[in-house]
Chains A and B, each alone.
Chain A
Amino acid sequence: MSSDDATPATTGDGANELATDTDDPAPETAQLTGDRDVADSPLVVENLRKEFGGITAVDGASFQVERGTLTGLIGPNGAGKSTTFNCIAGTLDPTAGSVQFQGEDITGLSPDQVCNRGLVRTFQIARELSEMTVLENMMLAPKAQQGEQLRNAVLPGRRDAVIEQEEELLEAVWETLEFFEIDHLAQDNAGTLSGGQRKLLEMARALMTDPEMVLLDEPLAGVNPSLEEKLLERIHDLREQGQTFLLVEHDMDVIMEHCEHVIVMHQGQVLAQGPPEAVRGDERVVEAYLGGDI
């Protein structure tokens, strides 16, 4: 399983340990403690800014994600969640600001470089490789595959090692598929899966990269209630094993119910952050959601 070497869960104190940031444009949000340990905050976003032409989608957002937590990033439509998300994952290049992951500046790296540093993402609309089987989808993801070098794949002397590694990967893949309960679909083309199964596949595939942290872009969008339950269960299981998640959602209820830390964005800025109950009571959050901006 991908969480083999994950750091021991720091969930207990991590949940209460919240970010302070002097540059935070919303300083009066709920903050519990001021000191933080970089090692416990794998992802630190500072003053992130992204402009598209004249439009500023993200306007100086700063936040961090604690290790071993399920952190939710919410906000009304157009709040800049997805842009922030894409800037972290390397899909977009931020105009200003920095993204640090595990103490390393990853601002402006390409998506593959970001992934290879242990930060993997999923997509809002599941992007399964539809003409490939579920197993092929899964086998694609692991890092450092020897057979990805052409000479290892082709030369007779080197292929044995590739085959050996493939066998190991296949076992890990089956375990993950069983964990997500989609192993019965293993040999189907991914394009034949239902919407919810695709979401499961996508998360399973992301985990095959053995990540330090997973960015989930609306994993529940378009998933039927029973699969939704299963998906959330899996996320909680993995979190308990020490996996760190940043979850983008616009469904407030899901976030409030499941995340131990919530970041609320509005108009490109971080409006509030803290534990769900603190955020829920925040007037500005209520206004942003119930005010003119729904």
Chain B
Amino acid sequence: MTALELPGSSEVPGWARYRQWFRSRWDQGGVAAWLLAAAHLLVGTLLFVVISAVPSSGLLSAVKVVLLGVVGIATVTPPAEPYTAWLAQVWAQSDRGKLYVVLGNAALVFFLLGIVIGSPFNAFVGGIEGLLYFAAAYAMITLALNLHWGYAGVFNIGVAGFMAVGVYTMAIVSSPVDPGSSGVPGLGLPLIVGIVAGTLMSTFVGLIAALPALRLRADYFAIVTVAFSEIIRYFLLSGEFQAVDLPVVGVIGTGGAVGKSMPANPLRLLFYENSSATAQPALLGELLFPLFQGLQLTIIPDGYAVNLGVATLPIEFTLNFSVQPSVISGFTEVAVLVVGVGAFFWLLRRVGNSPFGRVLKAIREDEVVAKSLGKDTNAFKLVSFALGCGLMGLGGILWFGQQGYVTPNTFRPIITFYIWVALIIGGAGSNVGSVLGGSLFVAALWEGPRYLKTTAESAVSFPSAPNNVIQALLPIFQGEVGPLLSFALSNIQAFRLIFIGALLIWLMQRRPEGLLGHRTEEAAAIPLTRPNGGETDE
């Protein structure tokens, strides 16, 4: 990681010398270093605030924007150098460090965005919750896909379908027999039965898909998997199976295009008396929720204004630390997903670090060789494919099962595509890379932009967004940036796809193996070194 470069900074000798001095002073450590950094940031921020407060229009406002940019970069650059150096060190140190760097920086950006935009603390905590929830969800499915592509080299682009099988099976098995006015009845079995049934069902469906298809070449197999996933989605969409009256079990069904509500989440019962949306808090809820209510820290009371001479700057500095009950209980769902990631990681590392994983890697590298060394490659591919599909089903259950309601269109192929992006970012073949890729994808490309949109829109009222990009760009020449900003924010979902595309192109050119794909995670149950404690010569 290199430090941010201020454009043209090398031609400004004073600035370069200041940066050098800042760095060397920082490296000496101590309280003075922190004071220096704080002073630097404070001066920069004040300058920024003052400039932004200057009323301007037309050409002057364009100058103001440029000036703000320069001040902003100058404020950030000197402290960013030691910070990035420190991050690089943490990154290099351990796998856990890598995850901390990704999630910690995302949280930091969320926090700073929240402060700059001035969103409530609750939104920030909610944003972190969403970040962790989706990071864990993506990490789980990416881990399962890594077994297929990273280990066995099986090109599965039907991930969404196998998740759908798991989620729907769980819902049908565990939905109440008498769902009330809305919804389709299920078998009413305990949730754990539903989860096991869903996992087994997606394993089975994976087996069914793979049995005939593994004889095909990799690219044709990929077509079969995506077709399979779409067949599953259309099957679920079909009205024929919306609610079927079966002889022994009674009425069950997929809910068709309307979708299907998930069985009550037992985690909610930890906090509430029942699972309805309007339920009263139960014991734990009553104890926990008030702790996070009404925590306010007023540093500068409302309505205080700083007169800067040129402008009056209203400063509101009330820190409201209240967190909504839904956000608090949401963290238990996050916890379940994190445990899920841990379990997946443990299992898949065990699978990978074994003779079984070794054969899978060999199949990925050269199936003919694996065959000529006596390995029944089809059997290995079949078992690993079914296992991966089962994990996708289980991951899907933990992910979507907690969201209350799914429709068949939740499982469009685009989800498969996102999982693939996460795998490519992290680097196929590395389990750590899969977790990292899932987290990074969610932080930078998924929850990050969404958080920006929701916080910005909740705090600042933008002019209504222009209808097209021309109308958004033209006002810039009159010094109006507002239309462009609101256009970008309201279309951030679409921009997200552009970011993903650009990132993929960049990654394919610069680092086709992803973040950790270059790494050798030895496929053996023991560390492969010279026996008898001898030193290996590298």
Q: CB within 8 Å of B: which residues of A?
A: 89, 91, 110-112, 115-116, 120-121, 123, 127, 129-133, 135-136, 139-141, 143, 145-150, 153-154, 159, 162-163, 166-167, 170-171, 174, 183-184, 186-187, 189, 205-206, 209
Contacts and interface: CB of A to CB of B under 8 A. Distances in A.
B442 interface: no
Contacts of B243: none
Given A184-B537, A205-B373, A153 B365 contact: no
Nearest to A170: B531
Given A147-B356, A154-B350, A132 B362 contact: yes
B373 A115 contact: yes
B520 A140 contact: no
Contacts of B368: 91, 111, 127
A130 B530 CA distance: 21
Interface in B312-351: 347, 350-351
8 smallest CB-CB distances across A and B, nearest first, come from A147-B355, A115-B374, A153-B354, A129-B365, A145-B355, A153-B356, A135-B528, A111-B371
Contact of B520 (A133, A143, A147): A133
Contacts of A171: 531
Interface residues of B, number: 42
B240 interface: no
A187 B355 contact: no
B369 A127 contact: yes
A154 B373 contact: no
Contacts of B528: 133, 135-136, 139, 170, 186-187
Contact of B524 (A91, A121, A130, A166): A166
Contacts, number: 134
B530 A150 contact: no
A177 B275 CA distance: 64
Contacts of A153: 350-351, 354-357, 525
B178 interface: no
A112 B368 CA distance: 9
B537 A163 contact: no
A153 B524 CA distance: 10
B526 A170 contact: yes
A136 B371 contact: no
A166 B526 contact: yes
Nearest to B517: A131
Contacts of A121: 372
Given A136-B361, A174-B531, A129 B525 contact: no
A154 B355 CA distance: 11
A133 B384 CA distance: 22
A130, A166, A209 interface centre (most CB from chain B within 10 Å): A166
B412 interface: no
B302 interface: no
Given A143-B374, A166-B525, A170-B526, A189 B520 contact: yes
Contacts of B520: 132-133, 189
Contacts of B529: 187
Interface in B511-532: 520, 522-526, 528-531
Interface of B: 347, 350-351, 354-359, 361-362, 364-366, 368-377, 380, 383-384, 387, 429, 520, 522-526, 528-531, 536-538
Contact of B347 (A135, A154, A162): A154
Contacts of B523: 132, 136
Given A139-B358, A140-B373, A146-B355, 5 more contacts: A111-B372, A112-B375, A120-B372, A133-B522, A170-B528
A150 B351 contact: yes
Contacts of A206: 373
Nearest to B531: A171
B374 A116 contact: yes
A149 B356 contact: yes
Nearest to B373: A141
B364, B372, B522, B528 interface centre (most CB from chain A within 10 Å): B372
B427 to A, nearest CB: 12
A148 B523 CA distance: 12
12 contacts: A111-B371, A132-B358, A132-B361, A132-B523, A133-B522, A135-B522, A135-B528, A148-B359, A150-B356, A153-B356, A166-B355, A186-B530
Contact of A140 (B358, B429, B526): B358
A195 B165 CA distance: 48
Nearest to A163: B525
Contact of A167 (B355, B366, B375, B531): B531
Given A132-B362, A147-B355, A166-B524, A187 B536 contact: yes
A112 B525 contact: no
Given A167-B531, A205-B373, A209-B374, A140 B525 contact: no
Contacts of A132: 358, 361-362, 365, 520, 523
B374, B520, B522, B529 interface centre (most CB from chain A within 10 Å): B374
A136 B374 contact: no
